[in-house]
Amino acid sequence: MNLIILLLPIIAIVLMFRSQKKRQQQQQQMQTALEPGAGVRTIGGLYAQVKAVNEETVELEIAPGVVTHFTKSAVAAVLDPQDYDAIINGRPADDELPEPEAEDAEPVEAKPLTLTKDSAEKGDAEGGAPASK
């Protein structure tokens, strides 16, 4: 019984160090795989395109003609070209395309929301906001 109490914390510590080491290796592989033209996301949430890779820094183009220098450790993820294009240009992914509307469905009339005092007194009867008293 005493042996189990001593071994559990040791096993937990070994597992934590092991998972941390795996994450560090994945980060290192990602940083070494950086190449010009790749789309990336920084740890600050900035999306940019890699222009040049140096020993410890990366040159990122954040807007056309605007190049900044970041450390390699500031790059959180290297994105697929399709994902990068969808994020930058606002295009939905293939599985997120809007479904076409059915031809049989009746169009719903959109009533503008009014926030005047008159519509509040009318209540819901005429589409205004309910009167609050």
| pLDDT at position 50 | 93
- Using DSSP's 3-state secondary structure scheme, residue 1 falls into coil
Beta bridge pairs of residue 58:
53, 70
| pLDDT at position 129 | 55
pTM exceeds 0.75: no
| pLDDT at position 42 | 92
User: What tens-digit pLDDT sequence spans the chain (133 residues)?
Assistant: 788 888 888 888 988 988 888 888 888 888 777 889 889 999 999 999 999 999 889 999 999 999 999 998 899 888 888 888 888 888 665 555 556 555 565 666 666 666 666 655 555 555 555 555 5
Compute the distance between CA of residue 94 and CA of residue 92 in angstroms, rounded to an integer. 6
Whether 41 and 86 have beta carbons less than 8 Å apart is answered as: no
| pLDDT at position 115 | 64
Compute the distance between CA of residue 65 and CA of residue 107 in angstroms, rounded to an integer. 46
Please calculate the CA angle 51-52-57 and round it to the nearest 5 degrees. 120
